Structure 1
Amino acid sequence: MKLNTPVIRLLVAKDWQLFQKQLAFYVLAGIVALCFLGLAKPWAFYVGSLMLIIVLVSVACFSIGTSLMAERKEQTLAFVMSLPVSPLDFTVSKLAGNLLTFAVPFLVILAGTLATVLLTPLPDGLVVYALLVFAYIAFAYAVSLAVVMSVESEGWGTFAMIGTMVLINPYLMALGQVPEIQGRIEQDAIAWSPPAVLILATLAGLSVGVLGATAWHHARKAAFY
């Protein structure tokens, strides 16, 4: 089936224009968190790390909640169905729109985090740890997006978002129990270990797989939802 690319672009642009101001606020909050991190003081590092995780989780939940869950509650699907758009076009536009609204602030904050670690007195070994944290948040976002797109229940969608994001705490604790990862955080050099590479590759692969499976599942539908 041929995609209606112009309409898809319009739907994606609509999501971006509606939410760009809120996303700019999240980026600003991320920059504030990075300023705390850059002070390289124990208390500032704790505050900055906590703020950074909260901002990233908020961006993920905001992207999914406003673009999908809120639209369902407001029943705007009827308007979309009036356009020359197929279920496949709608699926592609929702995936692309969500990925855009999440990926832009996510990548900006990721780049800022890496720059903060490398350009301040913080140990460069934090680069690997930071990438592992960001990889988990991206995976949690992919799972949440897949669930919300696949079920119409607001309760299950909310549960998926909260559940996957809350699991970041045991994930961080688990990383702390891996000597090859924990022991290299305070080194003033970027040192990759086999467990770190395996975890990063697994999370990246699972994220792509979940999004791919979601796109394939919805592409086979003959009707909206």
Structure 2
Amino acid sequence: MKASLNLPAIRALVVKDWQLFEKQLAAYVAAGLLALALIGHATRWSFYLGSLLLIIVMVAVSCFAISTSVLNERKEKTLAFVMSLPVAPLDFYLAKLVSNLVTFGVPFGLLAAGAVAVTLWTPVPDGLLTLVLLLCGHLLLAYCVALCVALQVESEGWNIFAMIASSALINPFMAGLSQIPDIARHWQGDTVVWSWQALSILALQGLGSLALLAYAGWRHLRKQAFF
């Protein structure tokens, strides 16, 4: 018979991570808001600079969430302290998963919503909304890949490689989208057009992200010890 989850301990670990990093996350959000303001200014230079800054901030949030909550704890060897608490391996995994999703998800969600608002309510062409959401989907999938690797693999080198490689594919991804006429030809228009290709890519990104998190959870369900 499996023991029930220790929800108070899980909640305490999640709150601990949030309180440790909330100031840094606020700084990331502030930088993202500056990027959105530049994009909304809608001149050629401000749009390019704001878009570049926004992507950098969202990638940085992803790396920050994983590095501080998972990788740094391994370096500082705080697992011994966690093992002294009344938590099972699954409790610890769920706490790490939820704290990472909150630490990444709150700033990511705010900036993604801001990007949608700027696209729809400023002189920026509304047709770019498909590109905005597909890029957000790519960043979310890249984050889930890096998080899954970080939760499963102890090697710091492989973790850094996963974070860099998944994020470095942004330019090839955008180049690939630009080669799909039914997606790219609507970016400069004032109407949001969702082609079947765009919807398919977005669905695959969402399903891929969920599948990665489910796989990591399944692996931890099989563990009976922290090691």
Could you say which TM-score interval applies, normalised by the shorter chain?
over 0.9
Q: Secondary structure at the match of 2:104?
A: helix
Give a deviation string over 1:91-138, Cα, whole Å, max 9, x none: 000000000000000000011111111110111111111000000000
192, 195, 208: which is aligned to 2:194?
192
Picking from 20, 23, 26, the partner of 1:21 is 23
Q: Which residue of 1 aligns with 2:152?
A: 150
Q: What TM-score comes out, normalization by structure 2 length? A: 0.98
Paired position in structure 1 for 2:208 = 206
Partner of 1:41: 43
Deviation at residue 179 of structure 1 after TM alignment: 0.6
Unaligned runs of 5+ in 1: none
TM-score (norm 1): 0.99
The AA in structure 1 aligned to 2:107 is: P
- Contact kept, 8 Å, 1:114 with 1:127, in 2: the verdict is yes
- Which ranges of structure 2 fall in alignment gaps of 5 or more residues? none
RMSD: 0.6
Match of 1:74 in 2: 76
TM superposition shift of 1:216 = 1.1
Structure 1 residues 1-225: aligned runs within 5 Å: 1=2, 2-225=4-227
| 8 Å Cα contact 1:91/1:219 also seen in 2 | no
For residue 218 of structure 1, report the CA deviation from its aligned partner: 1.0
What amino acid maps onto 1:129 in structure 2?
L
1:45-100 deviation per Cα after TM superposition (whole angstroms, max 9, x unaligned):
11011001000000000000000000000000000000000001000000000000
Query: Alignment partner of 1:32: what SS?
Result: helix
Distance 1:48 1:189 in 2: 22
Distance in 2 of aligned mates of 1:159 and 1:184 = 35
Query: Between the two proteins, what is the percent identity of the paired residues?
Result: 53
SS of the equivalent of 1:125 reads: helix
Q: Is the 8 A contact 1:8 1:89 kept in 2?
A: yes
In structure 2, what is the Cα distance between the partners aligned to 1:180 and 1:28? Answer: 35
Q: Secondary structure at 1:184's aligned position in 2?
A: coil
Separation in 1, partners of 2:64, 2:24: 9
Contact conserved, 1:30 with 1:52, CA < 8 A, in 2? Answer: yes
Q: How many residues align?
A: 225
Query: Could you tell me which amino acid in structure 2 is paired with residue 53 of structure 1?
Result: I
1:197-221 CA distance string (max 9 Å, x none):
0000001100000011101111210
Task: Please give the alpha-carbon distance, in whole angstroms, between the structure 2 residues aligned to 1:176 and 1:30.
Answer: 25
